[in-house]
RNA sequence: GGUCCCAUCGUCUAGAGGCCUAGGACGGUGCCCUCUCACGGCAUAAACCGGGGUUCGAAUCCCCGUGGGAUCACCA
């Protein structure tokens, strides 16, 4: 039997962190077993589903590289199918018509709550003989007994059916409801493994009963633990960004997020870094943990930095482009210096956003000095050194890291000073501050023209400081 | 509240009764490297929720307690 898994988001928002991980695990499991991964959009709630949201989810999936094999299927286009099965269940007497209105139901629920009873449909239409000429909903007859299943992740879970109520599978307007659509779809799409968040555990007994009513064999269930925020509450907006695309905009590499998500709830010994191929090869539901995990942005950052370091600068440039562009530098990606610039930033950027900010200094027309840095390093005694440096760099044949180092060293020897004495003032002259990439790699990346101009500007600044006396 | 799930360093986790003096990773701290910031290297602090069993032996199995989470719709 071919393994078939599915990811079934409802389009009422963006693809979020939790959904992405569910999709990832479904994909990994399917790929590991040489099966199919299916995408199904659960848009039965026409009022809440939006076109933008569908697009946002698709965008998020493609950005992460979570490619599906079949679909997307839309439940909104399969209403006839659901009605067909509902009709069959009605005929078999496994369902019944219910004429109670939502208002009546709501009133009874409130009354029950007030009396401290657990609100539950009383089944009053179950054996109703008349059939009023009014809209009716279709309810599923929940039988007695115990429903249990063996969850691959959580183990055996049992429910007493008495806690379940006769659920509505077709609303009075004829549209089908969630639990019914899920079962009809999973059954007709031959889904073999239902891998989803454990917030669905409570839906499972209802769905199992529906499977049985439909006469279909059960899939294997695997309920993934939830992802929590730092306060251990379910991850939500107030914990920070939860939209997958927000991470792209913050300068994360898609695989960094994938790797992070994979390790949140799943592990393979002590290994932290996984390529997609390795994840597929090593993934198994048995090594998914039972307990929920806290989303840790610090570790994501670490992984992102790791992958930035691993990625060739040439590959980074196009990904970086929109982020630099956003900061007002339109020509960065086509600047011949860009690859070298990225090289100087790779080792010190946790995100591409940070890298883009770091790149700005190479493109500025004029450098503004940090007052403290200027006061400390652009001192009158530097005028001579800067003059010499400008002259040497202007005539330097080999304007590379090693060539520059040689040039600097000869000056240091002549003046018997240490590199620090010269490097910091030059750093301030070139960047305006005291923090930057290594001085030689930076000068090489910056290029001769920009470097000389900035040194000359700094020299001007220094001499202007000297009192006319 | 009913029902269900969960419980190892701050966080992600390894751990399938003796290999545990509980390992790794992120983060923290200290040192080294060094032209600044980083990278890197080395070192270090830090956990089996509590109580009962079972067993020669329990982080691992069972029960109870406690704590956290989820879910209870003509939402999905």
Q: DSSP per residue over A391-423, as a string?
A: HHHHH-S--SHHHHHHHHHHHHHHHT--HHHHH
- CA of A140, C1' of B72: distance in angstroms: 17
Residue A431 near residue A362, CB atoms below 8 Å: no
Query: Does pLDDT of A424 surpass 90?
Result: yes
pLDDT of residue A133: 87
pLDDT of residue A234: 86
pLDDT of residue A469: 44
> Annotated catalytic sites of A, by residue?
237
Number of Cβ within 10 Å of residue A65's Cβ equals 12
Query: Does pLDDT of A468 surpass 70?
Result: no
**Section A412-423 average pLDDT:** 91
C-alpha distances in Å from residue A16, one per residue of A72, A107, A234, A405: 18, 35, 12, 49
pLDDT in tens, A271-295: 999 999 999 999 999 999 999 999 9
pLDDT in tens, A205-230: 999 999 999 999 999 999 999 999 99
Sign of CA pseudo-dihedral A25, A66, A346, A433: negative
**Section A368-373 average pLDDT:** 93
How far apart are alpha carbons A313 and A346 in whole angstroms?
Answer: 8
Query: Does pLDDT of A18 surpass 50?
Result: yes
**Section A34-52 average pLDDT:** 92
**Section A146-161 average pLDDT:** 95
Determine if the peptide bond prior to A266 is cis (ω within 30°): no
pLDDT of residue A178: 95
Residue A347 near residue A309, CB atoms below 8 Å: yes
pLDDT of residue A116: 78
- Computed on alpha carbons and rounded to an integer, the radius of gyration of chain A in Å comes to 32
**Section A56-85 average pLDDT:** 96
Q: Where are the alpha helices (DSSP H) in A92-158?
A: 102-114
- CA of A300, C1' of B15: distance in angstroms: 25
Query: Does pLDDT of A169 surpass 60?
Result: yes
Q: Indicate yes or no: strand B within 7 A of the C-beta of A419.
A: yes
Residues 437-466 of A with CB under 7 A from strand B: 437-441
Query: Does pLDDT of A152 surpass 80?
Result: yes
For A139-178, b/e burial (b = at least 16 CB within 10 A) is bbebeeeebebebbbbeebebeeeebbbbbbbebeebbbb
Instruction: Give the nucleotide at minimum CA-to-C1' distance from A223.
Output: B5
Closest CA to A20 of A282, A247, A311: A247
| Burial zone of A123 (CB within 10 Å; 0-12 exposed, 13-18 middle, 19+ buried) | middle
Residues 1-40 of A with CB under 7 A from strand B: 10, 12
pLDDT in tens, A334-357: 999 999 999 999 999 999 999 999
A409 vs A237, more confident: A409
Mean pLDDT of chain A: 94
| Burial zone of A77 (CB within 10 Å; 0-12 exposed, 13-18 middle, 19+ buried) | exposed
Query: Does pLDDT of A71 surpass 80?
Result: yes
HSE at residue A243, side-chain half, CA atoms within 13 A, is 14
How far apart are alpha carbons A352 and A349 in whole angstroms?
Answer: 7
∠ at Cα A98 (A92, A104), nearest 5°?
A: 165
Matching residue, tokens 């007709």: A188
Residues 210-229 of A with CB under 7 A from strand B: 225-226, 228
**Section A410-437 average pLDDT:** 94
- CA of A102, C1' of B20: distance in angstroms: 60
Report the predicted TM-score, pTM, of the whole model to 2 decimal places.
0.95
Residue A276 near residue A255, CB atoms below 8 Å: yes
Nearest protein residue, CA measured to C1' of B70 = A199
Query: Does pLDDT of A327 surpass 70?
Result: yes
Query: Does pLDDT of A467 surpass 80?
Result: no
Query: Does pLDDT of A114 surpass 90?
Result: no
Q: Indicate yes or no: strand B within 7 A of the C-beta of A348.
A: yes
Q: What is the pLDDT confidence band of residue A113, given thresholds at 50, 70 and 90?
A: confident
**Section A29-54 average pLDDT:** 94
DSSP state of A337: T
Q: Indicate yes or no: strand B within 7 A of the C-beta of A294.
A: yes
Q: What is the ipTM of this complex?
A: 0.96
Instruction: Give the nucleotide at minimum CA-to-C1' distance from A155.
Output: B5
DSSP state of A25: H
Q: Where are the alpha helices (DSSP H) in A33-123?
A: 51-64, 79-91, 102-114
User: H/E element holding A138?
Assistant: strand A137-140
pLDDT of residue A130: 84
- DSSP track, A186-225: HHHTT--EEEEEGGGGGGHHHHHHHHHHHT----EEEEEP
Which of chain B's bases lie under 7 Å from a protein CB?
Answer: 1-8, 10-16, 23-27, 34-39, 68-76
- CA of A360, C1' of B30: distance in angstroms: 35
Closest CA to A196 of A10, A1, A2, A63: A10
């Amino acid at each position: 039997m071919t393994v078939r898994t599915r990811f079934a988001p409802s389009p009422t928002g963006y693809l979020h962190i939790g959904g992405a991980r569910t999709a990832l695990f479904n994909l990994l499991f399917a790929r590991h077993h040489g099966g199919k991964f299916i995408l199904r959009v659960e848009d039965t709630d026409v009022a809440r589903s939006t076109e933008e949201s569908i697009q946002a989810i698709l965008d998020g999936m493609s950005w992460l590289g979570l490619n599906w094999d079949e679909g997307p299927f839309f439940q909104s286009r399969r209403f006839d199918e659901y009605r067909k099965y509902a009709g069959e269940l009605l005929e078999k007497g496994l369902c019944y018509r219910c004429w109670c209105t939502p208002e009546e139901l709501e009133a009874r629920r409130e009354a029950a709550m007030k009396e401290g009873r657990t609100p539950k449909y009383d089944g009053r239409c179950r054996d109703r003989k008349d059939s009023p000429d009014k809209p009716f909903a279709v309810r599923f007859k929940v039988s007695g007994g115990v429903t249990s299943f063996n969850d691959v992740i959580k183990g055996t879970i049992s429910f007493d059916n008495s806690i379940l109520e006769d659920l509505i599978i077709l609303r009075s307007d004829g549209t089908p409801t969630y639990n019914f659509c899920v079962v009809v779809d999973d059954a007709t799409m031959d889904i073999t493994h239902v891998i989803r968040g454990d917030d669905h555990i409570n839906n499972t007994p209802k769905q199992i009963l529906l499977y049985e009513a439909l006469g279909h064999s059960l899939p294997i269930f695997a309920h993934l633990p939830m992802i929590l925020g730092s306060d251990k509450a379910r991850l939500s907006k107030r914990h920070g960004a939860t939209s997958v695309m927000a991470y792209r905009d913050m300068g994360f590499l898609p695989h960094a997020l994938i790797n992070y998500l994979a390790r949140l709830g799943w592990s393979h010994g002590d290994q932290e870094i996984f390529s997609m191929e390795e994840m597929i090869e090593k993934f198994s539901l048995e090594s998914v943990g039972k307990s929920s995990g806290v989303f840790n942005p610090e570790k994501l950052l670490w992984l992102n930095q790791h992958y930035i370091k691993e990625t060739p600068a040439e590959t980074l440039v196009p990904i970086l482009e929109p982020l630099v562009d956003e900061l007002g530098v339109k020509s960065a990606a086509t600047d011949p210096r860009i690859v070298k610039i990225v090289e100087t930033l790779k080792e010190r950027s946790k995100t591409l956003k940070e890298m883009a900010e770091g790149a700005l200094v190479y493109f500025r027309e004029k450098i503004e000095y940090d007052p403290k840095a200027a006061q400390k390093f652009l001192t009158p005694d530097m005028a001579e050194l800067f003059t010499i440096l400008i002259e040497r760099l202007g005539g330097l044949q080999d304007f590379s890291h090693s060539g520059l180092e040689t040039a600097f060293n000869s000056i240091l020897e002549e003046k018997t000073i240490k590199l620090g004495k010269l490097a910091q003032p030059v750093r301030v002259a070139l960047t305006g501050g005291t923090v930057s990439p290594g001085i030689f790699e930076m000068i090489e990346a910056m290029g001769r023209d920009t470097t000389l101009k900035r040194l000359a500007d700094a020299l001007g600044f220094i001499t202007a400081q000297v009192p006319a006396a």
